[in-house]
Amino acid sequence: MKLISGTAHRALSERIAEEIESPLANVEVTAFPDGETFVRINENIRGQDVFIIQPTCPPTNQSLMELLIMVDAARRASAERITAVIPFFGYARQDRKDQPRVPITAKLVANLLTSAGVHRVLTMDLHAPQIQGFFDIPVDHLYAKPALIGYIRSKVPDPSGLTVVSPDVGGSKLARAYADAIGTDLAIVAKHRVSATMVEAMNVIGDVDGRDVMLVDDMTETAGTLCAAAEILNKKGAKRIYAGVSHAVLGDMGRQRIRESAIEEVITTDSVPQAHGEKVHVCGIAPLLGEAIDRIHNGESVTSLFDV
C-alpha cells in the first residue's frame, strides 16, 4: 500500500497515515511561475496499491486538477490500482439540469477521474448520493453519521428531549436517517432560497417547542440555510439548537453568521481544512477513512463502517 497526499488537506492525510501506520509517500507538488501544477513521485510505486487523498475543496479547480495530475503520475509509474480518496467531493451540487443550457458538472468530474486512470473512489456524504451512478468504476460511499451522532449523544443523552430538524424539504431523507438512528422525532423547516447566499426561512413542520434540536445538513458554506432555520426554530420555542453538518466549507461570511446566530454549536468533520471557527466543533474522520482504506486494500467489506 502507498498513501499519497495532495496539498488540499495535508493534515487529514497525516492523521489517516498515522491511524493505519502507513507513512505518506514522498511526493513533490510544486507550481510553475504561470500557475501550472507539477507532480513528481519520489519513490517506487510499481505494482503498488495506491491511495491518493485529496478533498476537492476550495480552491476547487486547483484541488481537482492537482488530483488528476497525481493520478496520471501514479498511472504512468505503473501503479497496480489507484483509489481516489475524496472526503469532500466538489461540484456535487451540479448533479442535474435544473435550468436550460447548464452543465452536469458532477458527471464531468466523474468522467475526468475515470479517464485519468482512477480504478476506485472512496468518498463521504455526497450532496446527491445518486452521483455514485455517474461512475463506471466502484464507489465506496461512507457517512459521517456515526461520528456526529456520537458527539450529539454526549451533549443530549436523553433522545426523548431531542428533535432532529431538516433545514429544507430536500434534506428530509438525510434528517430522517439521523432521527431513526438516534430514536427521536423529525421536523422540517420549509424554506425559500432568495439567492446563492441568501435564504428566507418560512415555517416549521413538526413540534420543536421546549425541545433541544439538531439541524442536519450534508454541507454548508455561507451558513445561510442553517442560520435562517435556527432563527425560526428559536422563535418557535426550541431550547438548545445544534447543527450537524458533514462538510463545513466555511468562509468568513459563514463563520460570522454562525457566531451571531442562535446555534449553540455546529458539529462537523475535518473533511475540509475550512471546518473551524467559533462555535464549531470538529469530529475527526481519520479513523473512519483509515479503516476503509485498510479494508479496501485487504479486499474486505466496508459495510459495518455505516453502523452507528
8 A C-beta contact, residue 221 and residue 192:
no
Collect contacts of 263-268 with beta carbons under 8 A, ≥24 apart: 263/215, 263/226, 263/227, 263/230, 264/240, 265/155, 266/220, 266/223, 266/226, 266/242, 267/148, 267/151, 267/152, 267/242, 267/243, 268/148, 268/244
The Cα 15–Cα 24 span in angstroms is 10
Q: Which of 2, 145, 191, 236 is catalytic?
A: 191
CA 265 to chain centre: 18
Q: Which three cell numbers stand for residue 255?
A: 463563520
| Helix, strand, or coil (residue 18) | helix
CA 258 to chain centre: 19
Q: Which residue has the cell 439521523?
A: 178
CA 13 to chain centre: 15
8 A C-beta contact, residue 111 and residue 78:
no
CA 38 to chain centre: 27
**Is 191 one of the catalytic residues?**
yes
The residue type of 145 is K
Helical H segments across 117-195, by residue range:
145-155, 172-182
| Helix, strand, or coil (residue 147) | helix
Q: Which residues are catalytic?
A: 191
